[in-house]
Structure 1
Amino acid sequence: MKLTFLIFISLLAITSFSQKNDVEILAEKGNGTIIFIGKNNSNTTQEVTLKLEKLKGLTGYSKPITRKVPAQGRLTFVRLRSKSGKYSYSSSYVYKPAPTAIEKAAIAAALKKNTLKNIGDIDKGIVIFNKTGCTRCSYTTSYLTDNNIDFKVINVDIKTHKENNALMWQTLRENGVLSTNILTPIILVDGKLVNSQGDIKEFVKTLD
């Protein structure tokens, strides 16, 4: 996800660039300084890259900064100085999950726990056709887990779960999807196919 902002500031207390995303960038102001801090609201380590442009009245930044912000943690990215107390800048940041080994194990355990045991229950609740190694799938299941939203997963890895993979394609065809160029996860809500092909980080919020 990429978030972009144009900020014009005189010295204030604290500014946040976002509204309760998985990752926020906070700007904390002091006596002639501004400190940019990454805040991770998720239960998974996030790799965050902060980019500042069009700096006026600020010194201390030279190039985009990438940091891994721990789950539910905060991390300082850069401290800038202002001589006059008045300054402006354009900012943007992108982030992606970067789970630690322990977090990966926890994610795997959660997926195992939520695996759909009976295909006959596919019409009940949220069901996710999940593919190993799929970043969008990992984000979706992590979001649902973090927010205590019940769901079940069906592994559709073609090498190990051919029948499940065939079921996914059958489900798509039955719902009028003829294209073979689709993005996982494919998601059903009470048996109905929902459109999860766009921005997955925005889409999962509709599952609350």
Structure 2
Amino acid sequence: MTHILYIEDEMEIGSWVTEELTERGYNVTWLKTGEGAESYTLAADIVILDVMLPGLDGFSIGKRLKSANENLPVLMLSARTAVEDKLEGLHFADDYVTKPFHPDELAARIEVLLRRFQKHEDVLEIGHLTIRTADMHILDKRTEKEILLTGKQYFIFQYFVRHLNQILTKEQLYEGVWKESFIEGDKTLMVHIRYLREKLEENPAKPAIIETIRGIGYRVKQQ
């Protein structure tokens, strides 16, 4: 799972961004100041950093983090829109987003930076499947053919992979993929999982990839 180090002192926007990113499958560590941030960078895949912080400002912290690890992508957030501020940020940072912003834009910029800085391809072996997690390329080892997922199938399976080995409720899956509240009795998710199993499972009637956890939900477990 992608680990984001997020540094933001404004409680309202910090809570909102953390919630949005968590719902999209990221693991977020939210710090209110940059003090001690270096100790969190070893586990981080990307840093999201506000400019206006108590004590050292985001520019100073970002330069420190980048100096310590030039391969760690840094994305600056700021209400400052002046060209001079953007240039100062981009002098060391890898992207600069001005407030207000839409969560979809932030997520897209995160994914772009993660692809740019990816040192190696993470490959999962699950049963007869080989999964390249960067782009969700799925290969059937039995036939050496790619399995193509469409629409919601792709996003559902991506959500499973991002939460590998976790038991996920129907509510978590639906809200994580559709970004809407789950309505009890809605069969939409069940139908999509059935179609997904038809593509991924050796025997869809006895699924081994997408397990049903009776009375709770589903799980994809790395074997």
Confirm or deny a common fold (TM above 0.5): no
Q: Relative contact order (alpha carbons < 8 A, sep ≥ 6): 1 or 2 greater? A: 1
Between Structure 1 and Structure 2, the one with more strand by share is 1
Work out which of the two has the higher radius of gyration on C-alpha atoms and give 1 or 2. Answer: 1
Give TM-score scaled by structure 2 length. Answer: 0.30
Between Structure 1 and Structure 2, the one with more helix by share is 2
Give TM-score scaled by structure 1 length. Answer: 0.32
